[in-house]
Amino acid sequence: MKPITITDVANHAKVSKSTVSQYLNKRYEYMSEKTRRKIEATIEELNYQPNILARSLKQKSTYTIGVVVANILHTFSTQVIRAIENYFYEHGFHIIVCNADDNPEKEKNYIEMLRAKQVDGIIIFPTGDNLDLYKRMKSDQFPIVFMDRTIEELNVATVMLDNQLAAQLAVDRFVEKGIENIAIITTSIIRDISPRIERIQGYKAALLSHGIAFNSEYIKTVNIDEIPAALSEIFDLEKRPQAILAGNDIVLNEVLRYMKKHRITIPDDIAIIGIDDVPYASFYTPTITTIDQPAIEMSNLAAELLMSQINKEETKDTSVHRLKPTLLMRDSC
Amino acid sequence: MKPITITDVANHAKVSKSTVSQYLNKRYEYMSEKTRRKIEATIEELNYQPNILARSLKQKSTYTIGVVVANILHTFSTQVIRAIENYFYEHGFHIIVCNADDNPEKEKNYIEMLRAKQVDGIIIFPTGDNLDLYKRMKSDQFPIVFMDRTIEELNVATVMLDNQLAAQLAVDRFVEKGIENIAIITTSIIRDISPRIERIQGYKAALLSHGIAFNSEYIKTVNIDEIPAALSEIFDLEKRPQAILAGNDIVLNEVLRYMKKHRITIPDDIAIIGIDDVPYASFYTPTITTIDQPAIEMSNLAAELLMSQINKEETKDTSVHRLKPTLLMRDSC
DNA sequence: GAATGATATGAAACCCATTACAATAACTGA
DNA sequence: TCAGTTATTGTAATGGGTTTCATATCATTC
């Protein structure tokens, strides 16, 4: 069952490979009407499908791009994958999805494989631990866009949330409600993952702007399975907080689970705001106030930035785009 | 900035391309220790990465597989993508993720592109409307596994949920609680999508097994945005149901949203069970009883079935594997 | 009827690896 | 020392397309 090749078509239609190739590339002006129809019929008859590998090898373009997410478990990652897939489908590209699992080794492996497979570009949520690799791509002028996280010194086009603002929106809201004792919980910040850092910075800055001194006991950065313990610590404090800012969707889940378990009433006993909107936020009891990331807008922007690099457009945009989050006011605060 | 090729390495190391190629394929017995080290050093020095396209063209294997999900919006789809990605990463494969959007045209386009790109196999949630295409893959002996849905007449290896059992578990649970008026809501069943059909069949069969006549007014198959209207219809019935079985996670969301909006108490006013577990099920108020699909197990099985086809193993398994769902008993019923 | 130009087609190089096999070099034992 | 191995390396074909450019064909014009 050997596949049909362009040579088979050429022989069968009694023309040369090159003419068939011209046909495949819709350069009909290079052949007569008769030849065109003959080739058309032959392709139909043999059910021929061109081998894109061979074409890509010559043309140096695979119409494939790689998407390396840091952790596919986050709702945000899947939203981004979905939106990017959608964008590139419209442009005739395929996406290869890779999950680095927050593991720099895995990330490295993926990036190297993607480049070896000659993808036309990569959108990556960088773990931050492969500086050399990033630099090499940069110096090779390989199309690349960072998402969600920035690597300061690199000058790579980046799309991320205005994380400081995200935290600030939440703090402002809490303060508006007369709450000053605000805790923040994020997942681990090994390797200086920028969003987590920035959210904590934004939190501190916002508190200061309201003249509230921040209490370091109110700041918890822990692994997911350590969240219940962290919450217990916070609640055992002499001055327990009146509000919690959950740093991402997974943290929010754990926080809500904890409140449920310990029968702590939201928002009376504790006010809650989560960064990242979650599907159930609008019908949970109470409904949950969240800070929504414009995932689709961010994805489209990242895709466009990548496309302009792929198309070697002049606009060498290497800036960091910070998109604005939205406060979705609901009942949990 | 032209890329380094095997020829560059060969010239630089003063050996032939073939020797370098042997080195790349770790066939060190074809060269002396000295040559091996020379090549090794040169590759290091030039930072050479082989072009996998060229290799794939010759070897007729791309170490890439396609995953075409019917609708990436379902939690189940993303769970499957995640698990399959994980499985294939372990085996040195990449996955290309495609979202058919429940659109047979898009599905067709994707399948043809994937084959043109010479992927080694495809895992697909078939829309069911591309019979010719499925048949052709089958007759080409192209590695393919169906997931979530079966196409009866085709004899393609398939992994899916035991949907009848899923519905039955739910009905049994309702009946156990003394509830007999049970409604079921699924999303649209144009094109005879098998899970939806089977879940309704299972629902009917389970009712009968309990000696309960089913009421066709209790069965709603509608688009997502029509769910509130469908619910209103059901609640306006003379004999309104005491329970609702939500056919998938998205339906469950809409049902819960409706109940919240109309202040209908779960489980007192209405008992609810959802097919597909959702992240918030265990801390919602009340916690939600769900029928959980073993997504990871199903994905691994599908991946293994595909791998055995790719490796041309003897075991020509073309059967339909129906995995058992689990009832996660919580408070909503 | 030859020169001209436009149209149509094919030959061959190329993309970058792999691989079968030929060629050379080094080494063995008699 | 020389045939006979064995170890090492190189040549060339191959995979399936694209692309450049030469050639063939044909109609047109003078």
Distance from residue B307's CA to nucleotide D13's C1', rounded to whole Å: 32
CA distance readout (Å), A166 to A32, A161, A243, B215: 63, 8, 16, 50
Alpha carbon of B108: minimum distance to chain A alpha carbons (Å): 13
Whether CB of A314 is under 7 Å from strand C: the answer is: no
| pLDDT(A278) > 90 | yes
Verify whether the Cβ–Cβ distance A64 to B253 is below 8 Å: no
Given a contact cutoff of 8 angstroms between Cβ atoms, the answer to whether A129 and A104 are in contact is: yes
Phi then psi for residue A17, to 5 deg, are -50, -45
> What would you measure as the largest C-alpha separation in chain A, in angstroms?
89
CA distance readout (Å), B186 to B5, B18, B189, B196, B245: 55, 60, 8, 7, 9
Cβ under 8 Å to A: B residues 193-232: none
Name the one residue in this structure whose structure tokens are 């800012």.
A245
Which residues are paired to A314 by β-bridges?
A: none
A259-276 pLDDT tens trace = 999 999 999 999 999 999
Average pLDDT rounded to a whole number, residues A98-114: 94
Given a contact cutoff of 8 angstroms between Cβ atoms, the answer to whether A78 and A72 are in contact is: yes
Verify whether the Cβ–Cβ distance A99 to B82 is below 8 Å: yes
- Is any Cβ of chain A less than 8 angstroms from the Cβ of B115? yes
Closest residue in B to A64 (Cα) is: B96
Angle at A91 between CA A22 and CA B101, to 5 degrees: 120
Verify whether the Cβ–Cβ distance B57 to A52 is below 8 Å: no
Distance CA A147, CA A142 (A): 16
Sign of CA dihedral A12, A16, A22, A27: negative
Closest residue in B to A139 (Cα) is: B1
Closest residue in A to B71 (Cα) is: A82
Report how far Cα B296 is from the mean position of its chain's Cα atoms: 10
Distance CA A124, CA A158 (A): 9
Q: Which residues of A touch B279 (CB under 8 A)?
A: 253
Report how far Cα A33 is from the mean position of its chain's Cα atoms: 48
How far from each other are the two terminal CA atoms of chain B, in whole angstroms?
A: 65
H or E stretch at B113: helix B104-116
Distance from residue B90's CA to nucleotide C23's C1', rounded to whole Å: 42
Given a contact cutoff of 8 angstroms between Cβ atoms, the answer to whether B216 and B234 are in contact is: no
Which of A56, A82, A112 shows the shortest C-beta gap to B99?
Answer: A82
Which of A271, A204, A210 has the alpha carbon at shortest distance from A242? A271
Which of A297, A325, A316, A320 has the alpha carbon at shortest distance from A146? A320
Q: Which residue is nearest to nucleotide C19 (CA to C1')?
A: B18
Name the one residue in this structure whose structure tokens are 């918030």.
B280
| Structure tokens, A192 | 């200086």
Q: For chain B, how are helix, strand and coil distributed in percent, rounded to 5?
A: 50, 15, 35
Which of B1, B52, B85 shows the shortest C-beta gap to A141?
Answer: B1
- The bases of strand C with some atom under 7 A from any protein CB are 7-21
A281-332 pLDDT tens trace = 999 999 999 999 999 999 999 999 999 999 987 767 888 999 999 999 999 9
Average pLDDT rounded to a whole number, residues A43-63: 94
Whether CB of B59 is under 7 Å from strand C: the answer is: yes
Average pLDDT rounded to a whole number, residues A204-218: 93
Name the one residue in this structure whose structure tokens are 């990036």.
A111
Distance from residue B120's CA to nucleotide C22's C1', rounded to whole Å: 34
Whether CB of B237 is under 7 Å from strand C: the answer is: no
How far from each other are the two terminal CA atoms of chain A, in whole angstroms?
A: 65
Given a contact cutoff of 8 angstroms between Cβ atoms, the answer to whether B106 and B127 are in contact is: no
Given a contact cutoff of 8 angstroms between Cβ atoms, the answer to whether B230 and B220 are in contact is: yes
pLDDT recorded at residue B82: 92
Alpha carbon of A212: minimum distance to chain B alpha carbons (Å): 33
**In CATH, which superfamily holds the domain spanning A6-50?**
lambda repressor-like DNA-binding domains (1.10.260.40)
Fold that domain B62-160+295-323 belongs to in CATH: Rossmann fold (3.40.50)
CA distance readout (Å), A68 to A101, A149, B130: 10, 12, 31
- Is any Cβ of chain A less than 8 angstroms from the Cβ of B290? no
Helix (H, G, I), strand (E, B), or coil: what is residue A56?
helix
H or E stretch at A184: strand A182-187
DSSP alpha helix (H) spans, A187-279: 194-209, 227-235, 249-261
Distance from residue A39's CA to nucleotide D19's C1', rounded to whole Å: 19
Closest residue in A to B136 (Cα) is: A47
Fold that domain B163-292 belongs to in CATH: Rossmann fold (3.40.50)
Angle at A85 between CA A156 and CA B108, to 5 degrees: 150
Q: Where are the domains of chain A?
A: 6-50, 60-160+295-323, 163-293
A148-173 pLDDT tens trace = 999 888 899 999 999 999 999 999 99
Cβ under 8 Å to B: A residues 25-64: 47, 49-54, 56-57, 62, 64
Alpha carbon of A208: minimum distance to chain B alpha carbons (Å): 34
Which residues are paired to B274 by β-bridges?
A: B246, B290
Nearest nucleotide (C1') to alpha carbon of B8: C16
Average pLDDT rounded to a whole number, residues A49-71: 95
> What would you measure as the largest C-alpha separation in chain B, in angstroms?
89
Verify whether the Cβ–Cβ distance A117 to B52 is below 8 Å: yes
| Structure tokens, B230 | 């469908």
Residues with CB under 7 A from strand D: A 2-7, 17-18, 21-22, 24-25, 48, 50-51, 54-55, 57-59; B 14-19, 22, 29-35, 54, 57-58, 60
Which of B321, B292, B325 has the alpha carbon at shortest distance from B305? B321
- Is any Cβ of chain A less than 8 angstroms from the Cβ of B172? no
A181-194 pLDDT tens trace = 999 999 876 666 77
Distance from residue A298's CA to nucleotide C24's C1', rounded to whole Å: 62
Distance CA B29, CA A208 (A): 68
CA distance readout (Å), A29 to A32, A42, A196, A310, B104: 7, 19, 58, 28, 33
Q: Which residues of A touch B118 (CB under 8 A)?
A: 51-53
Distance from residue A320's CA to nucleotide C22's C1', rounded to whole Å: 58
CA distance readout (Å), A28 to A4, A51, A71, B111: 22, 20, 47, 27
Q: For chain A, how are helix, strand and coil distributed in percent, rounded to 5?
A: 50, 15, 35
Which of A53, A261, A280 shows the shortest C-beta gap to B117?
Answer: A53
Per-residue confidence at A238, pLDDT binned at 50, 70, 90? very high
Average pLDDT score over chain A: 93
Q: Which of A38-47, A137-146, B192-201, B289-298 has the lowest mean pLDDT?
A: B192-201
Q: What is the pLDDT along chain B (333 residues), one digit of tens a residue?
A: 678 999 999 999 999 999 999 999 999 988 888 899 999 999 999 999 999 999 999 999 999 999 999 988 888 999 999 999 999 999 999 999 999 988 999 999 999 999 999 999 999 999 989 999 999 999 999 999 999 999 888 899 999 999 999 999 999 999 999 999 999 999 876 666 778 889 999 999 999 999 999 899 999 999 999 999 999 999 999 999 999 999 999 999 999 999 999 999 999 999 999 999 999 999 999 999 999 999 999 999 999 999 999 998 776 788 899 999 999 999 999
B177-207 pLDDT tens trace = 999 999 999 987 666 677 888 999 999 999 9
- Is any Cβ of chain B less than 8 angstroms from the Cβ of A133? no
Verify whether the Cβ–Cβ distance B285 to A282 is below 8 Å: no
B295-310 vs B75-90: helix crossing angle, rounded to 10: 50
Sign of CA dihedral A192, A193, A198, A204: negative
- Is any Cβ of chain A less than 8 angstroms from the Cβ of B89? yes
Average pLDDT rounded to a whole number, residues A138-144: 93
| Structure tokens, B83 | 């698990």
Which of A286, A150, A12, A78 has the alpha carbon at shortest distance from B80? A78
Q: Which residues of A touch B123 (CB under 8 A)?
A: none
Q: Which residues of A touch B133 (CB under 8 A)?
A: none
Q: Which residues of A touch B56 (CB under 8 A)?
A: 53
Angle at B325 between CA A72 and CA B149, to 5 degrees: 75
Q: Which residue is nearest to nucleotide D16 (CA to C1')?
A: A54
Do the first three CATH levels of B6-50 and B163-292 match, i.e. the same topology?
no
Show Cβ contacts of residue A301 under 8 Å, excluding neighbours closer than 6 positions: A159, A321, A323
pLDDT recorded at residue A313: 77
Distance from residue A41's CA to nucleotide C6's C1', rounded to whole Å: 27
Which CATH number does A163-293 carry? Answer: 3.40.50.2300
Q: The domain at A60-160+295-323 falls in which architecture?
A: 3-Layer(aba) Sandwich (3.40)
Which of A80, A184, A253, A311 has the alpha carbon at shortest distance from B283? A253
Given a contact cutoff of 8 angstroms between Cβ atoms, the answer to whether B317 and B305 are in contact is: yes
Neighbours of A261 (CB within 10 A): 12
| Structure tokens, A231 | 């919450």
Burial, A26: exposed, middle or buried (Cβ in 10 Å; 0-12, 13-18, 19+)? exposed
Verify whether the Cβ–Cβ distance A99 to B89 is below 8 Å: yes
Given a contact cutoff of 8 angstroms between Cβ atoms, the answer to whether B90 and B304 are in contact is: no
Q: Which residues of A touch B256 (CB under 8 A)?
A: 280, 283
Which residues are paired to A323 by β-bridges?
A: A161
pLDDT recorded at residue B193: 72
Which residues are paired to A144 by β-bridges?
A: A122
pLDDT recorded at residue B73: 85
Which of A52, A260, A279 shows the shortest C-beta gap to B253?
Answer: A279
Distance CA A225, CA B55 (A): 44
What is the DSSP pairing of strand A243-246 with strand A182-187?
Answer: parallel
| Structure tokens, B304 | 């293994």
Percent of chain A with pLDDT over 90: 86
pLDDT recorded at residue A73: 85
What is the DSSP pairing of strand B144-147 with strand B121-124?
Answer: parallel
Given a contact cutoff of 8 angstroms between Cβ atoms, the answer to whether A93 and A65 are in contact is: yes
- Is any Cβ of chain B less than 8 angstroms from the Cβ of A132? no
